[in-house]
Amino acid sequence: MSNRTFTMIKPDATSKGYTGAILDQIIKAGFTVKAMKWIKLSEEQAGLFYDIHRARPFFGELVDFMSSGPIVAAILEKENAVADFRDLIGATNPANAAEGTIRKNFAASIGENAVHGSDSDENAIIEGDFFFSKLERF
Ligand code: GDP
């Protein structure tokens, strides 16, 4: 079990002004920020990040969306971080997300779903390394 996970606040949420409220919910749930940046991905970078979904029918939409505006990328720390953060954000489709979860509170659709959360300890490390050098994490 790892104590770190990786998140992005996605372009739908940053453009609607939800960044502060989402960070507040994350911190109140007990996560500590270990690295953070406000950044806009190119289409190529968004495609590389979501490379595992390249064959999926929604890949083009996903890349267009994730490169459409700024995101907040962050490494978060908490005991049982990956699983607890997935619980905090809720189901991929906000229509199926539990009450009080970030996606229930802030997401509009299965594609534009406000936040990303790593799905395993291994991917949390890969995804954190995609965005942050050793100098940028504490
Ligand atoms: P997650 O781990 O809950 O983020 O979900 P997945 O790994 O299955 O999908 C990654 C991301 O692709 C999701 O968070 C959505 O932004 C997007 N996505 C998933 N399914 C769909 C879909 O059916 N349509 C569109 N447009 N985007 C999708």
Q: What is the pLDDT of residues 71-123, one digit of tens each?
A: 999 999 999 999 999 999 999 999 999 999 999 999 999 999 999 999 999 99
Q: What is the pLDDT of residues 22-66, one digit of tens each?
A: 999 999 999 999 999 999 999 999 999 999 999 999 999 999 999
Q: Edge-to-edge strands of the sheet including 115-117?
A: 32-39, 71-77, 4-9, 115-117
Rounded to an integer, what distance in angstroms lies between the CA atom of residue 132 and that of residue 3? 17
State residue 15's pLDDT score: 98
Which residues share a beta bridge with 8?
73, 116
CATH (domain of 88):
3.30.70.141
- Split at pLDDT 50, 70, 90, the class of 1 is low
Q: How many domains does the chain have?
A: 1
Q: Which of 4, 10, 34, 116 is catalytic?
A: 116
Range of 106's domain? 4-136
Rounded to an integer, what distance in angstroms lies between the CA atom of residue 13 and that of residue 112? 8
CB 78 within 8 A of CB 31: yes
For residue 99, the CA-to-ligand 1 centroid distance in Å is 19
Distances (CA, A) of 17 to 14, 66, 118, 122: 5, 16, 23, 31
Q: Is the pLDDT of residue 21 over 70?
A: yes
Q: Which of 58, 68, 104 to mutate to test the pocket of ligand 1 (most atoms within 8 A of CB)?
A: 58
State residue 89's pLDDT score: 98
State residue 113's pLDDT score: 98
